[in-house]
Amino acid sequence: ESTTKGGNTVFKHILVPTDGSELSQQTARHAIAFAKSIGARITFFSARPPYHADYSGEGTLVDFRSPEEFDAATETKAKSILDEICKLATEAGVQSKAVSDVSDVPYRAIIDAAESYACDMIFMASHGRKGLSSIIMGSQSNKVLTNSTIPVLVYR
C-alpha cells in the first residue's frame, strides 16, 4: 500500500507488534508519533503463546488451567496491552486497530500479520522482555528483519 512520491516511499499502513514490555510499549508510542507525522494508520499486533501442558518430574501437571482458560487469560492480557496503545493512538488522532493471534513462532506471526493486513512497514522494538526472554525477543526482531519482504524499522 506504500506509494512513491518524488522518488521517496510513503508508508500508509504500519504494523506495530508488542509483547507488553516497557520497551515495546515505548516503541508503540514512537510508532504513533511517526504514523501521525506521515499520515499513516497502525495495526497493533500481539502474538499470544499457545497452550502447552507443562509437566514436571514424573508427569505432575504444573499448570492446572485448561486450554480454554489459558487461551482466555492470554487473550485478556493481549487485549489489555493493545487497548492501552490504541487509546493513545486515538488521542493522537491516528487511526488504529488491534489484533492478536496464537503462535509459538512470534516472528512468523508478525510477518504473517503484516502480510494479512496489507501493511507496508513493520515498526518494532529491538528487543522485548528482560533476561532469557530478552534473548528470545531480540532474536524475534532479528528474524523479522532477515525474513520479511516488508520494510522493517527497528526502534532502540
What gap in Å lies between CA 112 and CA 134, rounded to an integer?
22
Is the predicted pLDDT of residue 47 greater than 90, yes or no? yes
What gap in Å lies between CA 32 and CA 52, rounded to an integer?
34
Q: What is the pLDDT of residues 108-145, one digit of tens each?
A: 999 999 999 999 999 999 865 444 444 444 578 889 99
Is the predicted pLDDT of residue 94 greater than 90, yes or no? yes
Could you identify the residue written with the cell 496491552?
A: 81
